[in-house]
Chain A
């Protein structure tokens, strides 16, 4: 089974709608990272969360870390077509923090 589970696997929303993507770990989190990817391209870093309860925002994207639940959520407010892409969570699951394990990604489509 996956060490990092993302849900949903895909999401289609109408422009202007809010949405949430979840990332749940089966192991202790030592750092949680959110990335965005356009098909066939590299990953673009969005945010990094390290402490339980931490919340960060960038423009209309907010990410939170629930350390007790070993879970992070990514919330997009008033979605736009530019938000479309694949969102991946990555996490350090070892105390050394040297390796990052990734979830399978969430494919987001925003219809105008």
Chain B
């Protein structure tokens, strides 16, 4: 079945270490997104990519990096520069239609919970 797979589901990291969260989709979606969710809060956009080899910063990109070498994959690296990385990370994708102003809904993965020890 088509969907979005995030891994790992749970991750523990020591301070000062970089960690990479995986996001893979087989929905043939053009656009992919990374959001961060903190307890009792909504989602905040970290990075997004609308086509391969191109991505844009979201609202809280500092301390994070991404790559989009393949349409199916959009990994997120949480670097040691991110001061408060403990959070729930959600990856999403959607179909886009070129210059259309209205595009489809976001499909979300199950999330990755990162805890910094």
Q: Residues on A close to B: CB < 8 A?
A: 4, 6, 30-31, 33, 35, 40-45, 48, 50, 88, 90, 92, 95-105
Contacts and interface: CB of A to CB of B under 8 A. Distances in A.
Given A45-B107, A104-B40, A98 B48 contact: yes
B109 to A, nearest CB: 5
Given A42-B4, A42-B108, A98-B50, 10 more contacts: A30-B102, A31-B103, A43-B108, A45-B105, A90-B106, A95-B101, A97-B101, A97-B103, A102-B44, A104-B42
A102 B107 contact: no
Contact of A33 (B4, B33, B45, B105): B105
B43 interface: yes
Contacts, number: 66
Nearest to B107: A45
Nearest to A107: B40
B106 A98 contact: no
A22 to B, nearest CB: 14
A88 B41 CA distance: 10
Contacts of B109: 42
Interface of B: 4, 31, 33, 35, 40-45, 48, 50, 58, 88, 90, 92, 96, 100-111, 113
Given A40-B111, A40-B113, A31 B102 contact: yes
Nearest to A31: B102
A88 B90 contact: no
A104 B37 CA distance: 9
B108 A97 contact: no
A33 B106 contact: yes
Contact of A99 (B45, B88, B100, B104): B45
Contacts of B111: 40-42
22 contacts: A31-B103, A40-B88, A40-B113, A42-B90, A42-B108, A43-B106, A43-B108, A45-B105, A45-B107, A50-B102, A88-B43, A97-B101, A97-B103, A98-B48, A99-B48, A99-B58, A100-B33, A100-B45, A102-B43, A104-B40, A104-B41, A105-B42
